[in-house]
Structure 1
């Protein structure tokens, strides 16, 4: 059962008590990501995430790590396009330590100039590592292509020029604008004393009073059907096809998840079985939806030999044509429902998954659905719902493409798809 509270300063807290476990997972969520950046400060959200581990008024970077390591816990964080999350998982006996460390990082980080300069080198190496992954490159390139000119298309890591420009003042100004009371959610799942935990959070958050109103995005993202090719002297060609998806709040959310499970979202999917298993033309081929607040993206990916580009594109197009003309069978829909429900229920066995689920839901939807409600939403999806999603997603004359590998940058891949 979920419980929702507001601390006296206004920060939202969502709790799910699971008494039969011995662990507790805590997430401190901030509704800010690369979508809130611009070309001059791109990567700043992710850089701040790094800096919060680099020392506070009370702990050095090593002491932050030791505080959680010494009790056998886990401490980490991630930055996405629309949010940042700092989280910990510990034994229930050590929940106080986790709260103390996370709030210390959030409210007492020192941002020393020497640490900022050192972390620039770390993040630049992370960018280099990412550049050495052509598959990641292809997905990033697709995002940049379809959301060209909008901050949603910016890479989460930023680039060398922007990262090197960061200083303490820039970082603190960004925090003041984005790390606000209304932008923050604390999510907790596992075994804990609810009253004691709320008292502890109340005490730790009492001086956090940043109620500055965060400005809404000046313009909404739009889907742009362009093609971007990046030549790279590597063995494989990494191909992404992007189609306009749906936003996180759409009523078509579960129909799209189910359709994707059949089309390209698993090893038993049509794409995987046809292109890898039957034809042997790719090691990795799949599709997946990305859900954002105001828009969505549906991506089809294949890692292939460059000489097989036209053949694989033809097969992908064939699967799209097949699903548009004939939809799903009743058996496929039934199996997809069981698959989705199974994945969801298995995820409930982890306090970390539950913490992530309720935190993200509260942050973006201001609502948490019960397990029964979610399973009911999956079961209630009809074939008509699936067909509506198929018609919405698979519009080939509005497709964007990115490719990384040994390919002429003048190659017009889109004509292969649309012809």
Structure 2
């Protein structure tokens, strides 16, 4: 780093000397220097080290020399691996992980975490289950030991299970008040009808009332295997120390399955819609999406850039008509909605690319019209300058997201499960830079043009256009 700084200072000094003898240097020269400096910074980021144990468990870490660290277990198991009978088991198991082990009661566990000044948390998604701890770097061994204890030695007591039923049922009631969560659950239900991705993560109420200890034990023994688990850490962590801890605490995790390994359930996309009309609600909440691609597909990065081109907007934003997103300009000028946000949700082999909006009843039709116009412009008339701006914004957002040990640890764990490696920042930047306007047009035409979308809408949606005709093959963007 010191040598790079010297080279940069030498280059800057040379430029200043040249200015005395020659005309003002061009902006291209300044951009060249800035690009070199940015490249040097990216190449100097800490390395992500990866080691696989004999039982298949992978250990991945990034040592940034901080006094704190985040360490967690990323498990390739979520609600997608459930069936109609046990839907909700993965999330139920997440709750039970902190309710006591053979070594620690719930009180002992909570006191130990509090006395360490640490944080212990978990979450369940449709394809992954995560348990992680944030602590001082010196407490890394204790944090790893606690994580090992809660996933391998949980007592899953009957009394605790009965108590958690009520907790989860109350959580489900709270989720039902969050209309964005409700709409996205409806969107998955209609987009992936009669498949595992169409079911909710929390599961239906009747399942929560009947899940028992045997269901939880079966889920653990079926999915918590070495090859499907990543121990990830970031912050002040030594990779060699983490390997020793992993061997000691996770070395006995089973590798093989009693029968065949559970296969990833096939989830096919269906262009369809679900409407829950309630004219008493003040605002309409609508999500519209087309089928996209999985994490490792080559078109993922272009779709991320296209997603950035559409952008997001809220009435509380400054800028208004001066924002780069054309849809944001239209929404601000025409008072078309209260907010909108584009999304690109990826799974292993499929995804959803679309827009979520919150509108007043009288502006629903206009907002849908301008959304379709902007999607069409991605297929036909997006410019190089717009794509360049979106690429810069995407890279900035990605780097800002990696601010702190916890998001870095999460990025490591997720990428190890999705790609079986951590993509270096300079490679990711190169893949984004390789995209141009032609790429965006080709990819968006492939996934948006003449494709039947999935739509979920809740609220006063009388003005929502009727898209049933798309099933006859009519190009829905032209309606």
Bucket of the pairwise TM-score, normalised by the shorter protein = over 0.9
CA RMSD after TM alignment: 2.0
1:38 CA drift (Å): 1.3
The aligned counterpart of 2:391 is 337
The aligned counterpart of 2:327 is 271
The aligned counterpart of 2:341 is 286
**Largest Rg, 1 or 2:** 2
Q: Deviations over 1:238-268 (max 9, x none)?
A: 1111111111111111111111111134674
1:54 CA drift (Å): 1.0
| Structure 2 counterpart SS, 1:93 | helix
The aligned counterpart of 2:58 is 12
The aligned counterpart of 2:171 is 126
Q: Distance in 2 between matches of 1:349 and 1:411?
A: 42
Asked if structure 2 preserves the Cα contact closer than 8 Å seen for 1:181 and 1:208, the reply is: yes
For 1:363-402, list aligned pairs within 5 A: 363-402=417-456
Pick the aligned partner of 1:173 from 206, 215, 218. Answer: 218
Range with greater deviation from structure 2 (180-189 or 390-399)? 390-399
Asked if structure 2 preserves the Cα contact closer than 8 Å seen for 1:55 and 1:105, the reply is: yes
Aligned residue pairs: how many? Answer: 415
Q: Distance in 2 between matches of 1:241 and 1:347?
A: 26
| Structure 2 counterpart SS, 1:256 | helix
Which 4+ runs in 1 deviate beyond 4 A?
408-411, 413-418
Asked if structure 1 preserves the Cα contact closer than 8 Å seen for 2:379 and 2:449, the reply is: no
Q: Distance in 2 between matches of 1:397 and 1:30?
A: 34
1:411 CA drift (Å): 7.5
Asked if structure 2 preserves the Cα contact closer than 8 Å seen for 1:240 and 1:401, the reply is: yes
| Structure 1 counterpart SS, 2:116 | coil
**TM-score by structure 1 length?**
0.94
**Aligned: 1:37 with 2:82:** yes
The aligned counterpart of 1:137 is 182
**Aligned: 1:106 with 2:161:** no
Asked if structure 2 preserves the Cα contact closer than 8 Å seen for 1:313 and 1:417, the reply is: no
**Aligned: 1:160 with 2:192:** no
The aligned counterpart of 1:228 is 274
Asked if structure 2 preserves the Cα contact closer than 8 Å seen for 1:401 and 1:413, the reply is: no
| Structure 1 counterpart SS, 2:84 | coil
Q: Deviations over 1:100-122 (max 9, x none)?
A: 11111011100001110111111
| Structure 2 counterpart SS, 1:398 | coil
Q: Distance in 1 between matches of 2:461 and 2:401?
A: 40
**TM-score by structure 2 length?**
0.82
Q: Deviations over 1:73-118 (max 9, x none)?
A: 2211111111111111111111112111111101110000111011
**Aligned: 1:304 with 2:359:** yes
Structure 2 gap ranges (5+) = 1-46, 318-322, 470-475
**Aligned: 1:320 with 2:375:** yes
